[in-house]
Amino acid sequence: MKNSNHLMKLEEEGFTFLCSLEDLQESIGKKFLVNDVEIAVFKINSEVFALSNICPHQLTHLIYDGFIEEEFVVCPAHGWKFNFRTGKKDSGSNGIDSYPVKIFVDDVFVKVHTKKFNW
2-110 belongs to which CATH class?
mainly beta
Contact between 56 and 67 under an 8 Å Cβ cutoff? The reply is no
- State residue 8's pLDDT score: 87
Contact between 68 and 59 under an 8 Å Cβ cutoff? The reply is no
Burial 55-67 (b: 16+ CB within 10 A, else e): beeeebebbbbbe
Q: Where in the chain are the domains?
A: 2-110
The C-alpha atoms of residue 55 and residue 5 are separated, in whole angstroms, by: 37
With a cut of 50, list the residues of the chain below it in pLDDT: 1
- State residue 1's pLDDT score: 43
Burial 17-27 (b: 16+ CB within 10 A, else e): ebbeeeebeee
DSSP state of 109: E
- State residue 26's pLDDT score: 95
The C-alpha atoms of residue 20 and residue 5 are separated, in whole angstroms, by: 19
Sign of CA dihedral 65, 67, 73, 79: negative
Sign of CA dihedral 62, 64, 68, 70: positive
The C-alpha atoms of residue 52 and residue 50 are separated, in whole angstroms, by: 7
